[in-house]
Structure 1
Amino acid sequence: MTSVTSMAETPTGPRRPARLRVLPAWSLIAAGALAGGLLGGVYGLAKPPTYTATSYVVAVPTEKSDPASALGFAQAYGRVATQLAVLGDAQVWAGVPVKTLKSGVQAATSPDAPMVSITATSSRPDLAADMANAVSRALTRHANDTKDATHVELQQFARATKPTEPSSASSTVTGLVGASAGGLLGGLVLLARPRRTTEEPGRPASVPGPAVAADAHGQL
């Protein structure tokens, strides 16, 4: 009797492992977007705002020159605007060292107009305007020292004014960018992770057919 009872209590089939609860796929994307948005918002709040000011100078041909020559010299002046010879004079009027001007000032030219734009960026709006105007003044002075040889005169076209709004992105924009990047990263992780195959509950295990079983018996 004891053996019959123990056999009746013993399960005849293999024990099924407990099924783990799997989170939906969109939860990984949502978590990445939330984390990215928080990091982007914190970055936007922690980073100080930056201001941008731009001044313009124009190359004017003299009586012994022509507009084509003025356009060519404007391209040349745009390349030397951020050189040490110009920035060394501009630091006196801007009140900042050459290193600050070198990292915060950029020059650009137009292929159609003999004009040079001097753009300065700083954490202070008044300093951004002063830096742009100082570099324009120094560039004009250097260019006009050789106007008898180049027959092109550099004149100030528009002074830089004190910006009223920062040019850097706000915390809202950085938060949205961070959320987009976090969601995209979560989607890439979701696509890259290995997929798990699960058996349907209640479905019996596959049993080899008679032909396969007979073949295996013959090989033995």
Structure 2
Amino acid sequence: MTENRTEQRAGHHAGPRRPATAVRTLSRARALPPWSLLAAGALTGALLGGGYGLARTPQYTATSYVVAVPTKGSDPASALGFAQAYGRVATQLAVLGDAQVWAGVPVRTLRRSVRTATSPDAPMVALTATSDRPEVAADMADAVSRALTAHAANTSDATQVTLRQFARATEPAEPSTASAAVTGLVGTGAGGLLGALALLVRPRRSGGERGRGGPAVPGPAPAADGRRQR
């Protein structure tokens, strides 16, 4: 009776045992070679990245340029300041409302697809349009450029600055988005990095699993203090 109670108490204090499935999963994870996590992460990343590149619709980008020119008798330095101002108003409704007629797309599409850029050193405005069709991208960039030039001409008496088209947009021959090969390489790198992180947090083998020897034998006890022996 005493031995049974002792065993019951020992089992009670031992705590809940791990499920057999969890134990087998941990054992398999510990048994995997280190390079397997890196290979699995890199392969998964390559498949996901390449699949994303194939499933995504390619986008094309076209850019048109206009330059600010001071009128006769005005300060040439003012053209640079007005170029910055026209770059900010190019995507406003007053300009895009006229551009939609030539572009053949609604204003909301122009507002979503057209971006402007200016230079601090040159009185030039770059109008860039993006679309899934190269001809539409070029048409949108040229349409906004034309509308902005007309808007500047209507206010040239007050600003003493006009806009002239510097370069028309051309239809892009290749998409501006990354190809499936590039996205696959990016996915491979990201997957390999995640595999390396998983390798760092992977459960390690315990001492008993590395060497299936008998129970550890405690070493000799340290010598007692000489003063205590006395």
Normalising TM by the smaller chain, what interval? 0.7 to 0.9
In structure 2, C-alpha distance between the alignment counterparts of 1:113 and 1:202, rounded to whole Å: 76
Letter in 1 for 2:55: A
- The equivalent residue for 2:54 is 45
- The equivalent residue for 1:206 is 216
Deviation, structure 1 residue 43: 1.0
Q: For 2:96, what is the secondary structure of its paired residue?
A: helix
Deviation, structure 1 residue 193: 3.3
- The equivalent residue for 1:54 is 63
Could you report, residue by residue, the CA deviation over 1:44-97 in whole angstroms, capped at 9, with x for unpaired residues?
A: 111111111000000001123222100000001011111111111111110001
Deviation, structure 1 residue 196: 3.6
Matching residue within 118, 123, 136 for 2:127: 118
Could you report, residue by residue, the CA deviation over 1:87-132 in whole angstroms, capped at 9, with x for unpaired residues?
A: 1111111000111111111000001000000000101010000000
Matching residue within 94, 112, 125 for 1:85: 94
- The equivalent residue for 2:168 is 159
Deviation, structure 1 residue 194: 4.0
In structure 1, C-alpha distance between the alignment counterparts of 2:220 and 2:152, rounded to whole Å: 98
Q: For 1:167, what is the secondary structure of its paired residue?
A: coil
Q: TM-score, normalised by structure 1?
A: 0.83
What aligned pairs does 1:184-203 form with structure 2 within 5 A after superposition? Answer: 184-199=193-208, 200-201=210-211, 203=213
Q: Measured at CA, do residues 202 and 45 of structure 1 come closer, stay the same or move farther in structure 2, by a change above 3 Å?
A: closer
**2:79 counterpart of 1:70:** yes
Percent of aligned pairs sharing the same letter? 72
- The equivalent residue for 1:142 is 151
In structure 1, C-alpha distance between the alignment counterparts of 2:190 and 2:180, rounded to whole Å: 15
- The equivalent residue for 2:15 is none
Letter in 1 for 2:211: P
In structure 2, C-alpha distance between the alignment counterparts of 1:129 and 1:202, rounded to whole Å: 72
Q: Which runs of 4+ in 1 moved over 6 A?
A: none
Matching residue within 75, 80, 95 for 2:104: 95
Letter in 2 for 1:82: T
Could you report, residue by residue, the CA deviation over 1:147-197 in whole angstroms, capped at 9, with x for unpaired residues?
A: 111101111101001111111111111111111111111111222334342
- The equivalent residue for 1:3 is none
Q: For 1:69, what is the secondary structure of its paired residue?
A: helix
- Bigger mean CA offset, 198-207 vs 59-68: 198-207
* Gapped regions of structure 2 (runs ≥ 5): 1-23, 225-230
Letter in 1 for 2:39: A
Q: For 1:72, what is the secondary structure of its paired residue?
A: helix
Matching residue within 155, 168, 171 for 2:177: 168
When the two chains are superposed, the root-mean-square deviation of aligned CA atoms in Å is 2.2
Q: For 2:146, what is the secondary structure of its paired residue?
A: helix
Letter in 2 for 1:76: A
Letter in 1 for 2:217: V
Letter in 2 for 1:24: P
